Amino acid sequence: MKKLIAVLLAMLTLLCCAACGEKGEDPTAKSEGVMSYAEYDAAELDTPVVIETYVQAKQSWWDNKAKLYTQDGDGAYFVYEAECSEELFNQLVPGQKIKVTGHKGAWSGEVEVMDGKIELLEGNWIAPIMDATALLGTEDLINHQNKYVGFKGMTVEASKDANGNDVAFLYNWDGSGQDGNDLYFKVSLNGQTYTFCVESYLCDNTTDVYAAVKNLKIGDKIDIEGFLYWYEGAQPHVIKVTPAA
């Protein structure tokens, strides 16, 4: 009986570790003086914030400033132009726990931690994907801003290029760009159409997702994964596109 109990306890420990991260991390836990996600969410714009979060992807590094997609167990944060040396940026691998001290800002609906300073912490956690398909077109979608999300069974809709032709994607939002620029494409679900983006700093023209979007055809049914960025409404930054299951 004792041996059976010991085995069951060991299995329970493994399950807890799997739920919390590869090191038994609790992604909702915060150090003293650090905001919970609820406190951050309730904070006024243009006020100081201190957060602990986990890097999920790096958008860009330039002039000793970093842009990061990050998340904890309760919500997600887009870190915008945080002070960051190139050496530190190279250490910000997916899952790395960090502390960011900055202020809360917003641009065209996208809420960000701006002009922050980054401190490396012990800890590692990768956020599981959240299926947000059913939230498209609802007021609740914005409550998951910046999270790693998926959308299933989307239909590729036509965009108009500079010559008025129907195309499956555009270089830049207005079709003014070229290979290597951001890709914009429209998809629909249940009669509503949404604009998604492959952000070229995050996924450049050497990546699989960039190639996948360039190969889309109007009417294709696809599944999409990305980070729920916001620009005058939901405009996810896409990192994966596959044919709909």
Average pLDDT over residues 91-97: 98
| pLDDT at 20 exceeding the cut of 60 | no
| pLDDT at 87 exceeding the cut of 90 | yes
- pTM of this prediction? 0.89
For residue 168, the model assigns a pLDDT of 98
Choose between 3 and 34: higher pLDDT: 34
In this predicted model, what pLDDT tens digit does every residue of 113-143 receive, in sequence order? 999 999 999 999 999 999 999 999 999 999 9
| pLDDT at 31 exceeding the cut of 50 | yes
What's the 3-state SS for the chain?
A: CHHHHHHHHHHHHHHHHHHHCCCCCCCCCCCCCCCCHHHHHHCCCCCEEEEEEEEEEEEEEECCEEEEEEECCCCEEEEEEEECCHHHHHHCCCCEEEEEEEEEEEECCEEEEEEEEEEEEEEECCCCCEECHHHCCCCCHHHHCCCEEEEEEEEEECEECCCCCEECCEECCCCCCCECECEEEEEEECCEEEEEEECCCCCCCCCHHHHHHHCCCCCCEEEEEEECCECCCECCEEEEEEECC
Tokens representing residue 181 in the block: 């620029």
- Fold equal for 9-124 and 130-243: yes
The domain spans of the chain are 9-124, 130-243
CATH superfamily of 9-124: Nucleic acid-binding proteins (2.40.50.140)
For residue 25, the model assigns a pLDDT of 87
| pLDDT at 35 exceeding the cut of 80 | yes
In this predicted model, what pLDDT tens digit does every residue of 149-197 receive, in sequence order? 999 999 999 999 989 999 999 999 999 999 999 999 999 999 999 999 9
Q: What CATH number does domain 130-243 carry, 3.40.50.170, 3.40.50.620, 2.40.50.140, 3.40.190.10?
A: 2.40.50.140
For residue 110, the model assigns a pLDDT of 98
